[in-house]
Amino acid sequence: MTISHIAPSERLAGKSAVVFGGGAASGLGVGQAAAIAYAAAGARVAVVDASLANAERTVAQIVGAKAIRADITDEESVREAIARAAEVFGTIDILHNNVGVPMPGPFASFSMADWMRGFSLNCVGAASTMREALPHLVRSRGAIVNVSSIASIRHTGINYAIYNASKAALDQLTVAVALEYAASGVRANAILPGLLDTEMGRGLASDEDIAERDRRSPTGKQGDVWDVANAAIFLASEEARYINAHLLVVDGGLSRRS
């Protein structure tokens, strides 16, 4: 695995980061890249995933990282994960939420159970992690980075109403928390990636679809996981100390097209 797109630095030296959805079954995912990037920037990292084995695959690439199992849809599981990370590191400076699942399909085909699951994974789970982490973040005057999607602000050409709606909710949840806790020194921002060439994306698309996704990007090429990871490092760092309640679009300009 290459991390050539992440320049080692001390931008987050002395900080601790908790990355929910930081594991990977194979290949390289957005959450895994973020965990590696935080570590490359000097942070101590807790990698949290519903699969402990997947979390450990990420931790194997990071010196001093900690793997923690937690189901983001289970409130008690999240509470235990945050408590464990705080115990290991003594503080939490950065909370990174990467859990999210696209659910393509016709609107009329979705059941109420589908809606509840989609919102639980894409929005409510992040509310749970933020609620549990905020006491620690207030003490450390820390930062929250939530990974959303440009699907929250525009139709992407794919019918996934649950994903669109739940990621839009995550955007406004991020803004609400950012403004409520700004006076306490906590910042909260969201990253809205566009088309990314990822393992998950390639698993869902044919070679022709991938080529078309490249053509759809104004740059002629999709982004990758490191584009999101670099944005996360910036938002978590002191360089972004006056950036709060912001929805940072990382899409090569795609969302500005008509």
Catalytic residues, which ones?
163
For residues 29 and 85, the answer to whether their CB atoms sit within 8 Å is: no
- Main-chain dihedrals φ then ψ at residue 111, nearest 5 degrees: -85, 170
Q: Which residues contact 146 (CB under 8 A, 6 or more apart)?
A: 96, 97, 126, 170, 173, 174, 188, 189, 190, 191
- Give the Å distances, CA to CA, from 134 to 70, 91, 186, 189: 18, 11, 8, 14
Q: From CA 39, how far away is CA 37, in angstroms rounded?
A: 5
CA proximity to 143, closest of 29, 38, 50: 38
- Give the Å distances, CA to CA, from 109 to 105, 112, 161, 173: 7, 10, 10, 27
Q: From CA 242, how far away is CA 27, in angstroms rounded?
A: 35
